[in-house]
Structure 1
Amino acid sequence: MSITPEALGAEFTLTTAATRLDFLSRRDNGDTALNTVQDDGEDSWASFKDASTQLDVHESLELLALGEVVARKAHDSRLVGIRAALRGGADWEQIAQALGVTAEQAWDTFLGSIDRQLDDDAAAAAAARELAGTRPGR
């Protein structure tokens, strides 16, 4: 089976993808917090606690693809967040501050998200464009 962002994106939500990504990242970085068992005085766990946590090829590719899934899903969530902020009464300066960009960049991001995500729903795209108003600075 091929590991792709598209396949994993259909399987994972943003939350579950981020959780799995974090798990694999910690294992690959050698973080023993996830695989350390409290030592009850028995030496049987000593080698387990010190074992290498390097990922195999499948897990490494899954880690890479999940990073892309999380990035894409997080990027797509901007549309939802910006629409919620606009409906809640925020202006473009406030939205820009929350995104760490200029008001013009925030507006452009929103319009770009509309074009990508709502291209098959003309009514929703029109409503989102109306909600956006005119480009800040004009």
Structure 2
Amino acid sequence: MSITPETLEAEFSLPTAATRLDFLSRRDSGDTALNTVHDADEDDWSSLKTIDTSLDTYEALELLALGEVVSRKAHDSQLIGIRAALRGGADWEQIGTALGTSPDTAYDSFQEAVSRQLDADAAAAARELAGTRPAR
């Protein structure tokens, strides 16, 4: 079975994809706390053993695809956040600052997301909420 962002996108929500991505990343990072086991038969520190937790090929490909899934889902959730900010009274200067970009870029990104993610009626309402392009 091929691992693609599309197959994983249907399986994972943003929080579950991020959790799985974090788990796989930590497991493959060489973190000694995660890569150490304790032999229950002995009570001294000499019983601690480092184990190999390198990801197999499937898990490595899953890690890669999950990174893309998280990126896509986080980007798509930007539309929700911008609409909430606009409804709360934020202006494009504030939204741009929150996104680490200019007001123009934030506005353009919002317009693209509206076109890509919403049906005609919802898009019209979102564009009305957005108002006009911010002054430069």
Normalised to the residue count of structure 2, the TM-score between the two structures is 0.91
Say if 2:36 and 2:48, in contact at 8 Å, map to a contact too.
no
Q: CA deviation at 1:46?
A: 2.9
> 1:134 is paired with a residue of what secondary structure?
coil
RMSD (Å) for aligned C-alpha atoms: 1.6
Runs of 4+ in 1 over 6 A off after TM superposition: none
Q: CA deviation at 1:107?
A: 0.2
The 5 Å alignment of 1:15-54 reads 15-37=15-37, 40-41=43-44, 46-47=48-49, 50-54=50-54
- 1:70 equivalent in structure 2: 70
Q: Which has the higher strand share?
A: 2
Which of residues 108, 122, 125 is equivalent to 1:124? 122
Long gaps (5+) in structure 1: none
Q: CA deviation at 1:2?
A: 1.3
Distance 2:45 2:128 in 1: 67
Q: CA deviation at 1:137?
A: 1.2
Distance 2:33 2:44 in 1: 19
Percent identity (aligned):
71
Letter of the aligned partner of 1:46 in structure 2?
A: L
Say if 2:96 and 2:105, in contact at 8 Å, map to a contact too.
yes
Equivalenced residue count is: 133
Q: Deviations over 1:79-104 (max 9, x none)?
A: 00000000010000110110000000
Letter of the aligned partner of 1:137 in structure 2?
A: A
Q: CA deviation at 1:32?
A: 2.6
Long gaps (5+) in structure 2: none
Asked if residue 58 in structure 1 is aligned to residue 58 in structure 2, the reply is yes
Q: Deviations over 1:6-30 (max 9, x none)?
A: 1111111100100000010011111
Distance 1:35 1:73 in 2: 30
Q: CA deviation at 1:37?
A: 4.1
Letter of the aligned partner of 1:109 in structure 2?
A: S
Distance 2:81 2:131 in 1: 16
Asked if residue 105 in structure 1 is aligned to residue 105 in structure 2, the reply is yes
> 1:125 is paired with a residue of what secondary structure?
helix
